[in-house]
Chains A and B, each alone.
Chain A
Amino acid sequence: MEARNGSQDAFRAIYECYGARIHNFLYRLLGSKSEAEDATQQTFLIALHRLGTLRDPNLLESWIYRIARNEVYQKFRRKEIDSLDDDGLKPFAEKAKDTRLHGEPEKALLNEELGEALQSALNSLPLKMREVFILAVIDEMSYQEISGIVGRSLLSVKTDIYRARMMAKEKLSRYTVMNRKIAAP
């Protein structure tokens, strides 16, 4: 209610509640930290301006996700995004560098390589599959919620998540074998 009346503190509270998740979703979708920040900024500007039009406050999170998703599609339509930027991999590289400095070079290299492989696997998925896969697997949303966000049927969402999983499995088979070897007694 306070947010609908334009309270800055309330707006900030909404951002702090959902900002990190939305940013991570956009980063995984776009593959670039700079693009993700731009899209996150635009998403919250739109959401906070239009908060008065939201009828059910319980749907706030899904509503913000829908705005974020639409913002990505707008960027693709305006051809503001061509491909994965190198700086999209930097967060993982930075993290790996810190780990190396603390004397864990092998772990650092593995983290860096895995991070790149994960994002590369996501980038190889068609956008329609990528978005539902991220929402289901990384954001752990229900298929019903995902269906509401992307505006597709439950069956379509379920099928695309499965297909995305299988494609990612092919791309990441080397890492999943390693995982299983580590996990086995």
Chain B
Amino acid sequence: MQHIEEEQISAFIDSQLSDEEMLAVKSHLRICSGCRTVLEEMNAVTRLFQESERVAPSPFLWNRISADLNKKDPARGWVAAILESLHPYRRGLSAAAAALTLILSVGITYLYQSSRQVAERAALAAIDQTYKSLAAQDPDAYNPFTSGSLEDHENPFSSFLSGGRTAQGN
């Protein structure tokens, strides 16, 4: 005969099995003396603890708790009072704080990118201005088509300058 697992018997004693499991255990216990012995031994230990004295606290324990509850931390003072008064609105405040954070993040990102674009445009304009002023002083030196700063084979316009030859020299 297959016995019930002792762990099941333990849970049976605590009435912590499903209705189906309870019925199955009860049926088995009717016909199995071995499992009944295990049940009786576990029950005996359980009864010892359940019938043991409950140890009550001192009658003055509430006075000590109450005294401690009434103590206020002076360092917290007005800050604690404000936080406590806001406590009922914590959910609304949390949502508002999250929305504000999002708006600020988007705003700061937009401003940052805008300022970068402005800075880039300013830098390009400054380069352009510098180039124009240098070109005005020495047009040949700053003419990309005629200046000697590029070797012929590097100059994409060399074929025009040399009468129809391609840049590859063919």
- Chain A residues packing against B (C-beta within 8 Å): 8, 11-12, 15-16, 19-20, 23-24, 27-28, 33, 36-37, 40-41, 44-45, 48-49, 52, 91-92, 95, 114-115, 118, 136-138, 140, 142-143, 158-159, 161-162, 165-166, 168-169, 172, 175-176, 179-180
Contacts and interface: CB of A to CB of B under 8 A. Distances in A.
A180 B44 contact: yes
Interface in B42-58: 42, 44-50, 52-58
Interface of B: 6-7, 10-11, 14, 16, 40-42, 44-50, 52-58, 61-62, 64-66, 68-69, 87
Contact of B53 (A48, A92, A158): A92
A91 B48 contact: no
A169 B42 contact: yes
A24 B50 contact: no
A11 B65 CA distance: 10
Nearest to B41: A169
Contact of B49 (A37, A49, A118): A118
The 4 closest A-B pairs by CB, nearest first: A176-B44, A162-B10, A23-B57, A162-B7
A172 B48 contact: yes
Given A24-B56, A176-B45, 6 more contacts: A41-B61, A52-B87, A115-B53, A136-B16, A137-B46, A158-B7
A37 B58 CA distance: 8
A91 B52 CA distance: 12
A37 B47 CA distance: 26
Contacts of B54: 20, 24
A52 B16 CA distance: 33
Nearest to B68: A45
A115 B11 contact: no
B44 A179 contact: yes
B85 to A, nearest CB: 12
Contacts of A143: 11, 14, 16
A118 to B, nearest CB: 5
25 contacts: A15-B62, A24-B56, A28-B55, A33-B55, A40-B61, A52-B87, A91-B55, A136-B14, A136-B16, A137-B50, A138-B52, A143-B16, A161-B14, A162-B6, A162-B10, A165-B45, A165-B46, A166-B6, A169-B42, A169-B44, A175-B48, A176-B44, A176-B45, A176-B48, A179-B47
